[in-house]
Amino acid sequence: MSWNRRAACGILCVLVGGVAAWAQNSADAATSTTIILTLKRTIDLALQNSKDIQLAKIQARVADNAAHLTKSAFLPNVYAGSGGGYTYGLPDTPGGQPPAVFRLTYTQDVLNGPLRGLAQEQAEQARAQRLVLEDTRNIVIERVATAYLELVKVRHSLELLRKEKESAEKIVGVTQERQSEGYELPTEVTKAQLTSARVVERILQLEGRQDELEVFLRNQLGLAPDQPFEVTSEDLPGSAEQEGANLIALASAGNPSLAFAESDVKAKEFRLAGEKKGYWPTLQLVSVYDVLIKYNFRNYAQIYNNFTYNNLNAGVNVNVPIFSSTTRANIALAQANLDAAKLNLANKHTQISADVRQRSKKVQEMDAAKEVARLELQLAQQNLAVLQSQFNEGKVNLRDIEKARLDENEKWMAYLDANFQRQQAQLELLRSAGQLEKALE
């Protein structure tokens, strides 16, 4: 019997271990699967998983609920309650009403100018918060797209630098050999070693930057910390180029920060109009229904000759302001806030127009820089082709070829940098004009 128990326990341990190993292998396989990311898919994942967007959605929901809370005063509000206590002398409650075993209360504001203005202001602020959500989406798109494009550039640059490292090491070897034969000075060997060391330094710098970008993208896209992924080399969509000519005109209609400033002015106008109505009477519908018990409240028989179990009070509560210093102060404050909002709106118009013009000019400058880098790369490639032909004919040595390759790699990296800077400038321009998400659909 004991042997059977030991055998069963052993089999059970093997099964549990096998299941655990299978689960671990499945998890490792899922993690080790490389994801192929395109620019569009990267943006889609970021919009789904970004913590900044999720926070902006919560803030928009909070603003909506705050607006509904103030507006609820103009809707029917019915409350029911009951209670018990000891009474000695005149039955009363802290609210001034007689104690009741059941009470039903109804209130509803009908005319209340300041409260109505506050409700309209908060409703407009809730709409403005949705504009903030849109602006947050654009910020996330720009940051993620910029990181994606930079990672493409960094990975390509690392490939070039690793080839450059091979060429630099060959140059060091050839120079040391020629120096040992008396054809080169020691300074030439040091120069070649310095070039190789600089290449290694740049490789380490770019590897550090690559790690930063990968961590940032994994966090924004909701990927596992060790999830490998590949990025594809691509330019911005053609639609982004087509929008460029009309961006200045579109900025006034599509920029979220400008729309937010316009909404803020409208909200302050609602608040000022409401505060001015503080000089008007307010009207509130009120009703109270009480159920009393004579046994519990027998003192009523001694105080009131006509005692009733059921009591209903219904009517309106009207307040007419005679002199209100508070209303005057509230109007002055609302007017000051409105003036500040209007000034901010005017500044936004000027600022956005200037930003779009400046960034449009920057895109043109980056276009020119990219073209210069392209031509320099083309020239370096042509020089390398000529030297390769001469090397095949025995007219130049290996060191000349490797130096030409080093120069070609440098021009390649300069072109990649110019192309990325141009893409980054274009993303900034599209976001300033409020056309980023539309251009990258």
Residue 73 near residue 256 (C-beta atoms within 8 A): no
- pLDDT at residue 26, rounded to an integer: 45
DSSP 378-419: HHHHHHHHHHHHHHHTTSS-HHHHHHHHHHHHHHHHHHHHHH
- pLDDT at residue 242, rounded to an integer: 46
Residue 39 and residue 45: Cα distance in Å, rounded? 10
Residue 348 and residue 265: Cα distance in Å, rounded? 12
Q: Which position has the token pair 């976001």? A: 431
- 33-75+112-280+321-434 is a CATH 1.20.1600.10 domain: yes
- pLDDT at residue 6, rounded to an integer: 55
Residue 353 and residue 360: Cα distance in Å, rounded? 11
Domain ranges for the chain, please list them: 33-75+112-280+321-434, 76-111+281-320
Q: Which residues of the chain have pLDDT under 70?
A: 1-32, 83-96, 237-249, 252, 254, 293-307
Dump pLDDT digits (tens) for 127-139: 988 888 888 998 9
Dump pLDDT digits (tens) for 105-132: 999 888 888 999 999 999 998 998 888 8
- pLDDT at residue 340, rounded to an integer: 94
Residue 168 and residue 404: Cα distance in Å, rounded? 11
- Cα 205 versus chain centre, distance: 28
Residue 417 and residue 359: Cα distance in Å, rounded? 18
